[in-house]
């Protein structure tokens, strides 16, 4: 059998040829891979595709990786609600996605805070404040519940003893029972007062949380324009009527 030998120049060219072939193969694969193009309104949203692979970009963007199967789409943009959706990619054809972001509004924040304190703050990104309001509300609810049970128990003790007291006909016996009667009555009153204080704290947290969501909405503070204020004489009221416009 004849031995095959390569000259030194051929040994140098062989690795270069292999590298060239691999590069051409990778280029051909990337050119044949379908492109996933994503745009958004407004642009500049951070978009993440999660599936077998996870890719991310800032719109407008495109991905030329060979993405195949079901992918979850998540888009974030400051001042807009987080966008969630899914898309099935076949891996054989190009896909163009247009994401329409929904702007966060003062009304949506207020409605969330009305349902439960702290939710509206989380909605606008004030997570620390929202967490504190939520924890404070839960603590106030728990305290109110405990004090309500205490009041129910004290009131029941007073009502039971009051029935016995009223059924007692002897003046001497009633005088002996009077001190305990007053003590039970005071315990019931104190328990009711404590319950009412807890309810007041709970209502205060709820009201503050709602006002905070309305008045301190990020980047959209209350504004009253001087050109929208007017003074008009009102003969019915025998005075001056002030008319203004408040923009939310």
Q: What is the pLDDT of residues 189-200, one digit of tens each?
A: 999 999 999 999
H/E/C letters for each residue in the chain? CCCCCCCHHHHHHHHHHHHHHHHHHHHHHHHHCCCEEEEEECCCCEEEEECCCEEEEECCEEECCCCCEEEEEEEECCCECCEEEEEEECCCCCEEEEEECCECCHHHHHHHHHHCCCHHHHHHCCHHHHHHHHHHHHHHHHHHHHHHHHHHHHHHHHHHHHHHHHHCCCHHHHHHHHHHHHHHHHHHHHHHHHHHHHHHHHHHHHHHHHHHHHHCCCCCCCEECHHHCEEEEECCCCEEEEECCEEC
Q: What is the pLDDT of residues 31-82, one digit of tens each?
A: 455 688 999 999 999 999 988 888 889 999 888 777 888 999 999 998 899 9
Mean pLDDT (the chain) is 81
Residue 234: predicted pLDDT: 52
Among 50-59, 62-71, 87-96, 217-226, which stretch is predicted with the lowest mean pLDDT? 217-226
Domain ranges of the chain: 34-103, 108-217
Q: Which residue has the higher pLDDT, 123 or 4?
A: 123
pLDDT of 21 > 60? The answer is: no
Give the Cβ contact number of residue 50 at 10 Å: 14
In CATH, 34-103 is 2.60.40.1120: yes
Among 86-90, 158-162, 224-228, which stretch is predicted with the lowest mean pLDDT? 224-228
Q: Label residue 223 by pLDDT band (50, 70, 90).
A: very low
């Amino acid at each position: 059998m004849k031995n095959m030998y390569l000259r030194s120049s051929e040994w140098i060219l062989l690795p270069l040829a292999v590298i060239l072939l691999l590069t051409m193969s990778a280029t051909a694969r990337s050119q044949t891979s379908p492109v996933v193009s994503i745009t958004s309104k407004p642009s500049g949203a951070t978009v993440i595709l999660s599936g077998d692979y996870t890719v991310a970009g800032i719109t407008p963007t495109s991905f030329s990786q060979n993405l195949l199967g079901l992918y979850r789409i998540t888009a974030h943009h400051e001042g807009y609600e987080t966008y969630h959706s899914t898309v099935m990619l076949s891996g054989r054809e190009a896909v163009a996605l247009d994401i329409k972001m929904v702007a966060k509004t003062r009304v949506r924040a207020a409605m969330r805070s009305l349902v439960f304190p702290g939710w509206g703050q989380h909605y606008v990104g004030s997570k620390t404040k929202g967490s504190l309001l939520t924890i404070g509300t839960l603590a106030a609810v728990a305290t109110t519940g405990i004090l309500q049970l205490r009041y129910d128990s004290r009131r029941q003790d007073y009502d039971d003893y009051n029935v016995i007291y009223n059924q007692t006909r002897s003046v001497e016996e009633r005088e002996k029972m009077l001190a305990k009667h007053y003590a039970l009555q005071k315990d019931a009153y104190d328990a009711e007062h404590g319950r009412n204080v807890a309810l007041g704290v709970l209502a205060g947290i709820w009201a503050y949380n709602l006002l905070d969501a309305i008045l301190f909405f990020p980047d959209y503070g209350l504004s009253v324009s001087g050109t929208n204020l007017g003074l008009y004489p009102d003969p019915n009221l025998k005075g001056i009527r002030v008319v203004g416009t408040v923009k939310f």
